[in-house]
Amino acid sequence: MAMAPSVFAFPRLVCIFLFFIAIVTAGAAPVSNLGQREEIKRKLMDNGIGLTPQMGWNTWNHFHCDVDEKLIRETADAMVSTGLSKVGYEYINIDDCWAELNRDSMGNLVPKASTFPSGIRALADYVHKKGLKFGLYSNAGTTTCSQSMPGSLGYEEQDAKTFALWGVDYLKYDNCDNSGTSPRERFPKMSKALLETGRPIFFSLCEWGEEDPATWAPGLGNSWRTTDDIVDSWGSMATRADLNDKWASYAGPGGWNDPDMLEVGNGGMTTEEYRSHFSIWALIKAPLLIGCDIRSMDNATFEILSNKEVIDVNQDKLGVQGKKVKKDGELEVWAGPLSGNRVAVILWNRGPIKAELTVFWSDIGLSSSTIVDVRNLWKHKTETSVQGKISAEVESHGCEMYVLSPSGVRH
């Protein structure tokens, strides 16, 4: 098999060093100067948000512009009644199309009267009373991507104050209608404006990976898109996993690579494919933002989205993004370190037929003499005292996901 570098090829301290070097060298993206960037970086860490990847729900993948306050209230209700909130999903995020086309006479954004007649503040209050957090969308351009509402370009301070006043906890900030100007010039303005409101607001940069935001966004926001938009297909999902993989060393507590939102439950992939989608997103510390209608999801969708053992990999406090560590044609091993000297491993069969996959300890940075307990996160079974390797028959487009916990070393 062709061997990719081990997930443990660089010690943790080196990864941390590279992470912070990436922040410092991002100085080409002025806030306006290095001192201000360092202050923003410190505040981003001090505000306590984004220490693990964000979890929640977003309107776009399933509803696009067909959004209103009834949908948001009912989704907040469903997040609680289904138990999804108990396993970590907390943000209820409205994407594009929530505002009127024109600002008011004072230059303020105006919620669309026909779909959000109660206003955004009342809706945020409803979400908060459910024990959840509320997210909104804007754009670092003149209009948003739908061209149905204003962007925030030139209104960063005013809009940030409005979002804070409304009780917004999360801002997704897109990159449309920008006249070809660099996001390195536009995105820092909103980052600074949000911090100056004094309200902790998770800042999600949606720059689509065009100017390699992993190299400069860690000092600006809590996550940054590394790819263009996902669609509900096997090829789209798998491609975004690959595109995101190269930026693994830039992710860590406070800031995460984002290969876009989850398509699980939207109907374009099989259950096996959705299980692979969710597993890989969890391992690579991607945001877990549900993109389906959770009010009417089927049991298979719920079982995937609510798998607490897989979610725990995503939310592990060590915060190291897993990577593709071994590839033989369409058979792949992805792995990453977890807290407590554990390792998460995925055997991923991207081929058209069922196949046997094997991961050797040497593939994932373990000594061949290490004895581990192997927990299968989808079958919820543990095999004890395993040494040297794991093998499994994996369905086409399916995966097996494990956590290896060292139980001793044989000398």
Q: Considering 77, 125, 229, 373, which one is annotated as catalytic?
A: 229
Cβ partners under 8 Å of residue 209, min gap 6:
225, 226, 227, 228, 243
Nearest to 55 by CA among 287, 212, 315: 287
- For residue 177, give the H/E element and its range: none
How many alpha carbons lie under 13 Å from residue 129 in its C-beta half-sphere?
A: 8
Q: Return the structure tokens found at 339.
A: 């807290």
Q: Return the structure tokens found at 194.
A: 């949000």
SS3 call for 374: strand
Q: How far apart are CA 397 and CA 350, in angstroms?
A: 5
Q: Considering 95, 174, 293, 316, which one is annotated as catalytic?
A: 174
Contact 59, 95 (CB under 8 A): yes
229 is catalytic: yes
Q: How far apart are CA 138 and CA 99, in angstroms?
A: 10
Q: How far apart are CA 234 and CA 350, in angstroms?
A: 9
Q: Return the structure tokens found at 280.
A: 């890989």
Burial pattern 61-100, b for ≥16 Cβ within 10 A else e, equals: bbbeeebbbebbbebbebbeebebbebbbbbbbbbbbbbb
Q: How far apart are CA 248 and CA 25, in angstroms?
A: 17
Helix axes 156-166, 183-196, angle to 10 degrees: 40
Q: Return the structure tokens found at 318.
A: 């060590």
Nearest to 204 by CA among 187, 189, 181: 187
Cα–chain-centroid distance for residue 6? 23
293 is catalytic: no
Q: Return the structure tokens found at 320.
A: 């190291």
Residues with a known catalytic role: 174, 229
